[in-house]
Structure 1
Amino acid sequence: MRPLALSVPDVAVPDRSATGRRMLALAVICLAELLVVLDNTVVNVALPSIGVQLRATMSGLQWVVDAYTLTFAGLLLAFGHLGDRHGRRRAMTIGLIGIAVMSVGGALAGDLGQLIAARAAMGVCAAAVFPATLALIINLFQDARERAIGIAAWTAMAGFAIAIGPTVGGWLLDNFSWHSVFWVNVPVAVLVAAAAVAVVPESRADHSGRVDLLGIALSLIGVTVLVWTIIEAPHHGWLSTTSVSGYLAAAITLTVFVWWELRTPSPVLNMQLFRIRRFSLPALAIAVGYFSMFGFLFMITQYFQAVREYTPLEFGIHSLPFAAAVGIGAPVATLAAQRLGTTAVMVCGLLVLALGMFIAGQVTVDTPYFGPVLVSMVLMGLGLAIVQGPATESIMASVPPEQAGAGSAVNDTTREIGGTLGVAVLGSILASVYTGKVGPRIDAIPDSIMTPDQKGIARQTGLSVLEIAKHKVNPMFADQKAALIHAMKVASMDGFHVASVVTVSAVLVCAAVVAVFLPWRPTGTSVLLGWRDGAATDRERVHMPQ
């Protein structure tokens, strides 16, 4: 009797070495992302030192932050397309080397203008890095589950950067000058660039259209004019001729940009994508989320250092709960969205974000750290984390993998424009309220006690409290000095309260729009594959005659 032959089906055995190489490449890509995000957060801690040494006004300090985010946001679309065409790893590597070089320029800056120019140049280089990171992850992981892990790691890295930014910056400022926050970029950027060449595989799209130079120029000019007008509005007047002219110029330029993008054969931004609800509404949520976060971080810097008079390192340590909440919440929310649906998770995140900012708006000069301050930071961090992970997946699900660079650039552009406007709008509101309340009191001080230059700085920013507190005066003026410092702190918090109302209103409106117009049903597959399933319906509708 012949033995029974059993046929055993072939079982696919995962290639552990290949998986290990992909995870190593993911780690390098996330380090590149870390460096870019870190440059946004670490400078916030150095603002008081920069303001004192370079004699910067509030608007000057806003431009130290916004010069980076503005060029970053304006050029993300261009570099996303260039990365798709010429290679995403190449774009990332060139950008990292550029950050190292421009960081040297920032460290050696001798005045505020040079520093702002260096920050703007760093933003240009960062724009080459950031869209490439997410596009490389999308093309690196073909398995849906591994892609989900990669996206979760990418979103969590932003929270980690927020965590170490203020703390590392505070340690550097406690031991060195503010120049050190730029010097530290140089070796890190060079090492990450070398590691990228060694372990990250190159990827590019098979076909790319011509670069839309006119579209790039129009978008950069429009956004720049808008943000400049908002930042300078407290000085010229919100409804002054200068401000109104700026608003009109920005509106006309951006309208022409949209008109051109709808007609050019290879646009830098495919406006048809915004007719896909799973693309446009998550992009709106990310923009509003980062509007809140960047504005909150800018204002909390004033609170910790001007009101509480913390050292930079103390500020960094006290901000860790906010950062930890982002780092922990982002991957959890990304995975939860696959089970519950993107809409439910995003709406929940926006409501948590609004609650956190509302509580922050109730903080006063005498409010202790352990209480509303800590609770508001944790809620803000969780809210942002819950929104950004699922929203990023939904955006990337709306474009095919071969257009990952362009999709990533749109995702990054929305968050950077939102962040830039957050600093500009909320910072300007804070400055307007502060100057209106403190200006007359400071003007009444004799020039023998405060010079006109000192008055000018004190009139513009509450961070001047640090220098006024150190300044020695005749004992007979001690009470007046203490009263002035207290009034400056109260005025800063009054500005914070008004800005928080604006933020909460914007977040609640966004939550309502997402809840009403974004489909609640899951796509039926991993959202990363949604462009083949749930998002495909919307994609097809884009081309249907109306």
Structure 2
Amino acid sequence: MQPHENTGHPRRWAILGVLVISLLVVVLDNTILNVALRTLADPVHGLGATQGELEWSINSYTLVFAGLLFTFGVLGDRAGRKRFLLIGLALFGLASLLSAYAQSPAQLIAARALMGVGGAAIMPVTLSIISNVFDPRERGRAIGVWAGAVGLAVAIGPVLGGALLETFWWGSVFLINVPVVLAGLVLVTLLVPESRDPQPGRVDVPGVVLSVVGLVALSYGIIDGGEHGFGRPVVWAAIVGGVAVLAWFVVHERRSDHPSLDVRLFRVPRFAAPVAMIGLVFFAAMGVMFFSSFYLQLVRGYSPLETGLLFLPFAVAQLAFAPRSAAMVQRYGGKAVSAVGLALTTAALAVFAVVDERTAIWVVLVAFFVQGVGMANIMPPAMESIMSAVPREKAGVGSAVSNTVRQVAGALGVAVLGSVLAASYRADVGPALRDLPAGAREAAGESVSGAYAAAGQLGPAGPQLIAVANDAFVSAMHTAAVVAAVVAGLGILVVLRWMPGRTPTPAAVAPAAEPELAGTA
């Protein structure tokens, strides 16, 4: 085969469009749900869900999704990626329908868990199909489009959710998935070719079980700690137990003659460095996006729809810059592009360490835009580096590892930064609540949203409580934002120290069949 020949699928760009649609529905759903929580808590217009039930309507999805991502990426390589994509879409559509017509919070939580199964089947195979149908010379550009779609979904979810809630009932935020899923099923059937590992070997059953148990236990500990605090033994039992099981998984994989994951890949800089970078940046970014939504809706008084619109600069930046990042990598190298992207992201997150309730809103909009530009130049080079470190037939493994790290790190960021925020808020607001009635004192001391609810029952004293709660929340947000910026800044050090520099063009590089020899540039 001549070096100039393109080895990609003839319909690769149409296939990419189908994969983007499949990916959008998964990412979009989580961000849509965030703006529907207040409605779901309403006993008249929603389900009358308690705070704990609302949290688990999100976390049941996250727990199942994070626990199964790696396993489904591996199994997709074996059983067929198109098949897994179709199964995942069908399950996601069914779960969306069940969620839309849930009659109780418990039914919604169960349906969301089923949705997590579908999402875990969809997410890793979209990226592995891209690696299979695109020539390595075009893969970076295609992954840029894929990453842009993720950023777009994160940003437009609140806008779409707010618009639906202003017009229809709460179930519409789930029902909107169904026609998209049906279109995806038809298009995947018609356009996407089947692909799998031609030499899959035996199934590593112990490895699969250990990965699921370890990831579920770790994710549960993180989620539960974020909800109820990290001071309880059950939280640390889950976290330490999960880490121990994952360590056992690594030991098992090193000794196995048919491993699910070749752990030698983590000795390859162009695999390990971007995986670490993704974990750090999503820890920081997801935590900040979580509390910035509360800042905009409560402290600044914007509606869910207005809050969603304020996130649009992030989406615009992702759409504009993510598809162009491949050209930037070719010109300047993955290390330089990633380092600049991380620096921009760190600066944008640090803005939330100085804003308050009187800051001009354009400052926040600029911060979201800069964060979008930064992350648009982090994900594509990171994913291209990871996917180039594994051969095409093992693409699902590379995709699954990166997506699992991103999901767990994002959950950890929300939990840890949320705990930092909550602890700082309680410490600041506590002294000002001593003269309040017991019920109002407890609610206002727990969270800023609780303070707003309590203020509505205090009459003339309500505005004063809101002012105190806002000051405490802004101060706590500053503390959490500093932590987030420091974590994202660590990613810069990882990139500068371990991320390989400019590499030869893909056409001149042999397939990475021997990962222990790859990425030594």
TM-score (norm 2): 0.90
The amino acid that maps onto 1:402 is E
The amino acid that maps onto 2:516 is R
In the superposition, relative to structure 1, how do residues 218 and 511 fare at CA in structure 2: closer, same or farther (>3 Å)?
same
**3-state SS, counterpart of residue 358 of structure 2:** coil
* Aligned residue number for residue 524 of structure 1: 504
User: What does residue range 135-534 of structure 1 map to in structure 2 within 5 Å?
Assistant: 135-142=128-135, 144-233=136-225, 238-371=230-363, 373-438=364-429, 444-446=435-437, 452=439, 458-464=444-450, 467=453, 471=456, 473=457, 477-520=458-501, 522-526=502-506, 532=510
The amino acid that maps onto 2:388 is A
**3-state SS, counterpart of residue 201 of structure 1:** coil
Q: Give the deviation of 1:86 after TM superposition.
A: 1.6
**3-state SS, counterpart of residue 262 of structure 1:** helix
Q: Give the deviation of 1:409 after TM superposition.
A: 1.3
User: What does residue range 81-120 of structure 1 map to in structure 2 within 5 Å?
Assistant: 81-120=74-113
* Deviation larger for 383-392 or 70-79: 70-79
Alignment counterpart, residue 124 of structure 1, candidates 110, 113, 117: 117
In the superposition, relative to structure 1, how do residues 178 and 186 fare at CA in structure 2: closer, same or farther (>3 Å)?
same
8 Å contact 1:306–1:464 — kept in the other structure?
A: no
Q: Give the deviation of 1:133 after TM superposition.
A: 0.9
* Aligned residue number for residue 44 of structure 1: 34
Deviation string, structure 1 residues 169-202 (Cα, Å, up to 9, x no partner): 1101112233221111112112211211012121
Q: 1:125 and 1:14 mapped to 2: Cα distance? A: 33
**3-state SS, counterpart of residue 310 of structure 1:** coil
Q: 1:440 and 1:177 mapped to 2: Cα distance? A: 41
Q: Does 1:79 align with 2:72?
A: yes
Alignment counterpart, residue 134 of structure 1, candidates 127, 134, 142: 127
**3-state SS, counterpart of residue 210 of structure 1:** coil
Q: Give the deviation of 1:536 after TM superposition.
A: 7.7
* Deviation larger for 273-282 or 129-138: 129-138
Deviation string, structure 1 residues 442-470 (Cα, Å, up to 9, x no partner): 575336xxxx4x7665543323466456x
The amino acid that maps onto 1:532 is A
Q: 1:428 and 1:23 mapped to 2: Cα distance? A: 43
The amino acid that maps onto 2:517 is E
* Deviation larger for 375-384 or 112-121: 112-121
Q: Give the deviation of 1:209 after TM superposition.
A: 2.9
Q: Give the deviation of 1:407 after TM superposition.
A: 1.6
Q: Give the deviation of 1:14 after TM superposition.
A: 9.5
**Structure with max Cα Rg:** 1
Q: Give the deviation of 1:437 after TM superposition.
A: 3.6
In the superposition, relative to structure 1, how do residues 458 and 541 fare at CA in structure 2: closer, same or farther (>3 Å)?
same
8 Å contact 1:78–1:211 — kept in the other structure?
A: no
Q: 1:385 and 1:62 mapped to 2: Cα distance? A: 29
Q: 2:319 and 2:224 mapped to 1: Cα distance? A: 34
**3-state SS, counterpart of residue 418 of structure 1:** helix
**3-state SS, counterpart of residue 377 of structure 2:** helix
The amino acid that maps onto 2:395 is A
Q: Give the deviation of 1:300 after TM superposition.
A: 1.4
User: What does residue range 12-51 of structure 1 map to in structure 2 within 5 Å?
Assistant: 19=10, 21-51=11-41
Deviation string, structure 1 residues 403-433 (Cα, Å, up to 9, x no partner): 1122211221121122121222122222222
8 Å contact 1:153–1:331 — kept in the other structure?
A: yes
8 Å contact 1:291–1:421 — kept in the other structure?
A: yes
In the superposition, relative to structure 1, how do residues 183 and 441 fare at CA in structure 2: closer, same or farther (>3 Å)?
farther
In the superposition, relative to structure 1, how do residues 431 and 83 fare at CA in structure 2: closer, same or farther (>3 Å)?
same
**3-state SS, counterpart of residue 532 of structure 1:** coil
Q: Give the deviation of 1:167 after TM superposition.
A: 1.0
In the superposition, relative to structure 1, how do residues 236 and 419 fare at CA in structure 2: closer, same or farther (>3 Å)?
closer
- Aligned Cα RMSD in Å? 3.0
Identity %: 39
Q: Extract unaligned runs of 5+ from structure 2.
A: none
8 Å contact 2:226–2:418 — kept in the other structure?
A: no
The amino acid that maps onto 2:462 is K
Q: 1:481 and 1:151 mapped to 2: Cα distance? A: 51
* Deviation larger for 217-226 or 277-286: 217-226
**3-state SS, counterpart of residue 445 of structure 1:** coil
TM-score (norm 1): 0.86
* Deviation larger for 276-285 or 228-237: 228-237
The amino acid that maps onto 2:18 is V
8 Å contact 2:390–2:515 — kept in the other structure?
A: no
In the superposition, relative to structure 1, how do residues 77 and 233 fare at CA in structure 2: closer, same or farther (>3 Å)?
closer
The amino acid that maps onto 1:411 is S
**3-state SS, counterpart of residue 261 of structure 2:** coil
Q: Give the deviation of 1:340 after TM superposition.
A: 1.0
The amino acid that maps onto 2:204 is D
Report how many aligned residue pairs link the two structures.
515
Q: Give the deviation of 1:367 after TM superposition.
A: 1.7
Q: Give the deviation of 1:322 after TM superposition.
A: 1.5
8 Å contact 2:313–2:366 — kept in the other structure?
A: no
**3-state SS, counterpart of residue 281 of structure 1:** helix
* Aligned residue number for residue 539 of structure 1: 516
8 Å contact 1:350–1:508 — kept in the other structure?
A: yes
